[in-house]
Chain A
């Protein structure tokens, strides 16, 4: 809010003019250096002795067009798995983190179980969990065995739930004990304190690392293809085997990045909004 009849002083006018000049100058410098670096890169890559061969085997537009439908249908599997597994892993992680905060001897077994779970599944490589669930569990020949895709999804949820539980726990522990004391002094029960005071602050604080793990999950959901289902990378691999050309991989890679961009944008937006809300603006 500037007052309408305020006339800037001589000094302020000089400062503004100087700042404007500085802005123009830095934009020019940025534009020039970007152009120079880009040109250099293009010359270096296209001028390389093997460039023509690389372009033919990695950037063939015709093969890209042919591979796109199968890679896309593979990607649809990735997306569905991602959504289900992300929701599952977030819920599981939150539950485990809250269980680990319970105090009192009654909860010892629950606490021990939750701690054991996070230790195990953060230490166990995802591929091994996947194999155990998708190959080992069906071997039991139990009645009503879920399909391999669901078992693979469970493996992902179990592994990522372990990571997310630790992120949630860090968030919960970052809430100062005086906040708990204030909530309890108002007569809120432990559960109400968790639900209305601790968790909202904890989740807000760790939202960026949580979403970061979801981006990592996005790349790992494709591993279910090890057990049979065809995801985008596997589809690209099949197409590559048929054409002896790596372009389908590039197609899959580009699609993955395109898929990640909205997720990353959401991460940034959430972080920004949290910061802004905290400061009341």
Chain B
């Protein structure tokens, strides 16, 4: 059964249509990569799925339940979805440990000791155990982004949404974050990730969706969409990417 099913999504910003009749289905344990030019609506789609932006039309089902129904408590939905942002968005006034335990303690009402033990275990697993008591601005960009991923994982989400999580990073720091996502895939995490890293999309994604003007123009296995695209707009996009040396 599909874990996430979006049907006919529409989103406008002041008359400008950003998502237009968009359909997307993600099965459990599947990794879907969203690619597309800047402004094609990738971030907007992820924000709508996480109910951070309100839809103008269409439905979103998570685990078979319509979460776009206004009677659904969005806080309840967001607890089951982890989201990671391009700019990390760690809380600067909290230590790494407090960033990670905030939601487990306040949302899931776990005890401090239990939440911290879980957080330390997650940090150790990604090699950041020594940074538990540091404040975010003492970490490198790659470390901050890995903490942000750990923070989202501490909620034990059903689904992870990753919005260009490496595009603010120096090239030598990209690898450590991608390695972490690779591990998540190996653990069976269901993920939707917007990315400009075509090589990574090809490697990690089960399915690649090419977005253009708010629609999924082409989707399929990475070899097909990135290797032998059928749509002219996909070809054009990939040609530009190759010219920019990013494939």
Contacts and interface: CB of A to CB of B under 8 A. Distances in A.
Interface of A: 178-179, 181-189, 192, 196-197, 200-201, 204, 277-280
A158 B185 CA distance: 57
Given A186-B78, A187-B79, A179 B102 contact: no
Given A179-B89, A280-B138, A185 B52 contact: yes
A278 B78 contact: no
Interface in B72-121: 74-76, 78-79, 81-83, 85, 87, 89-93, 102-103, 106-107
A276 to B, nearest CB: 10
A200 B93 contact: yes
A196 B101 CA distance: 12
Counting contact residues on chain B (CB < 8 A from A), the size range is 20 to 34
B13 to A, nearest CB: 15
B152 A186 contact: yes
B106 A192 contact: yes
Interface in B28-71: 47, 50, 52
A187 B52 contact: no
Given A178-B87, A187-B103, A201 B76 contact: no
Interface in B100-158: 102-103, 106-107, 134-135, 137-138, 151-152, 155
A209 B194 CA distance: 42
A204 B94 CA distance: 12
Contacts of A204: 93
5 contacts: A178-B87, A185-B50, A196-B106, A197-B102, A279-B138
A179 B91 contact: yes
Contacts of B47: 181
B89 A188 contact: no
A204 B135 CA distance: 15
Closest 7 CB pairs of A and B: A187-B79, A182-B89, A280-B135, A186-B103, A185-B83, A280-B138, A187-B78
A192 B91 CA distance: 14
A104 to B, nearest CB: 12
Given A184-B74, A204-B93, 20 more contacts: A179-B89, A181-B47, A184-B78, A185-B152, A186-B78, A186-B79, A186-B102, A186-B155, A187-B107, A187-B155, A188-B75, A188-B106, A192-B106, A197-B102, A201-B92, A278-B93, A278-B135, A278-B137, A279-B137, A280-B134
A179 B50 CA distance: 15
A279 B135 CA distance: 7
Scoring B103, B137, B138, B155 by chain A CB atoms within 10 A of each residue's CB, the highest score goes to: B103
